[in-house]
Amino acid sequence: MKKRIIIILLIVVVLTGGGLIIWKLTQNKDSSSSLSQEQELEKYLSEKRLDLQKYFVFNLGREVKVGAIKLKHNGVERKTVNARNLAPLLSEHLTKLLGEKKDWIGFREKGKDEKDITGEWKKDKLDWKINNGKDWYIVFDKSKISSNDCNYFRLRGKSTDGKTVYPLGFSLAVLAQPEVQVLRTKKETLQFLKNNDPALSGKS
């Protein structure tokens, strides 16, 4: 009788132990699958961003370089307060998107032709944002940038007086919502794109 009980107990242990192992394997597989899907989505924030249908996205802290740049025109050099150089991959993708080479971005506030009021996106305050913006993403609606009515995007950089054009740069009004969004986390950025860009519609 005791032997029978012991045998039954051993069978129960083996079965439950095996079930636990199977459960753990299933959990690990689900976790791996979930991680793989997340990693695939994250590619749309950089290497696959041109596959987005409505928006263009870039990382402020990792793809925009700190430090004011100097621009030359007809032998005259001027130092900028709101223009910054771009990382190579971002420059490459913007060049493909816009059809002409782009090396730098000029940050504006609410409009490409409006005077900046707060000064938050120029000089040291801009560099602070870049230095501390490794998780910040800027998303803009690329479907409207060719329109004459577009107020948040300028294809080529311009001097303050508007008389000099700098073709290697472009201007973006980062506070011109809803067309432009400054998002502070990767999670928030992916959620915004899943909710608003057809390319990621239905992706979990």
| Predicted TM-score (pTM) of this structure | 0.81
Using omega within 30 degrees of 0 as the cis cutoff, is the peptide bond preceding 178 cis? yes
Across 100-112, average pLDDT? 95
Identify the DSSP state of 76: E
**Does the pLDDT of residue 19 top 80, yes or no?**
no
Burial of 15 (0-12, 13-18, 19+ CB in 10 A): exposed
Per-residue confidence band for 117, with pLDDT thresholds at 50, 70 and 90: confident
**Does the pLDDT of residue 43 top 70, yes or no?**
yes
Residue-level pLDDT at 23: 47
Q: Taking the alpha carbons of 4, 8, 11, 13 in that order, is the dihedral positive or negative?
A: negative
What percentage of the chain reaches a pLDDT higher than 90?
67
What percentage of the chain reaches a pLDDT higher than 70?
82
Cα 123 from Cα 51, distance rounded (Å): 33
What's the distance, CA 35 to chain centroid? 19
- How many CA atoms lie within 13 Å of 31's alpha carbon, on the beta-carbon side? 6
Q: In this predicted model, what pLDDT tens digit does every residue of 45-76 receive, in sequence order?
A: 999 999 999 999 999 999 999 999 999 888 88
Locus of tokens 């696959």? 48
Rounded to the nearest 5°, which phi and psi values hold at 40? -65, -40
Q: In this predicted model, what pLDDT tens digit does every residue of 126-164 receive, in sequence order?
A: 999 999 999 999 999 999 999 989 999 999 998 877 789
| Three-class DSSP category at 119 | coil
Residue-level pLDDT at 65: 98
**Does the pLDDT of residue 22 top 50, yes or no?**
no
- With contact defined as beta carbons under 8 Å apart, do 151 and 112 qualify? yes
Q: In this predicted model, what pLDDT tens digit does every residue of 71-92 receive, in sequence order?
A: 988 888 888 999 999 999 999 9
Residue-level pLDDT at 33: 57
Which has the higher per-residue pLDDT, 94 or 38?
94
* Residue boundaries of the structural domains of the chain: 1-42, 46-200
- With contact defined as beta carbons under 8 Å apart, do 57 and 93 qualify? no
List for the chain the helix, strand, coil content (%; round to 5): 45, 20, 35
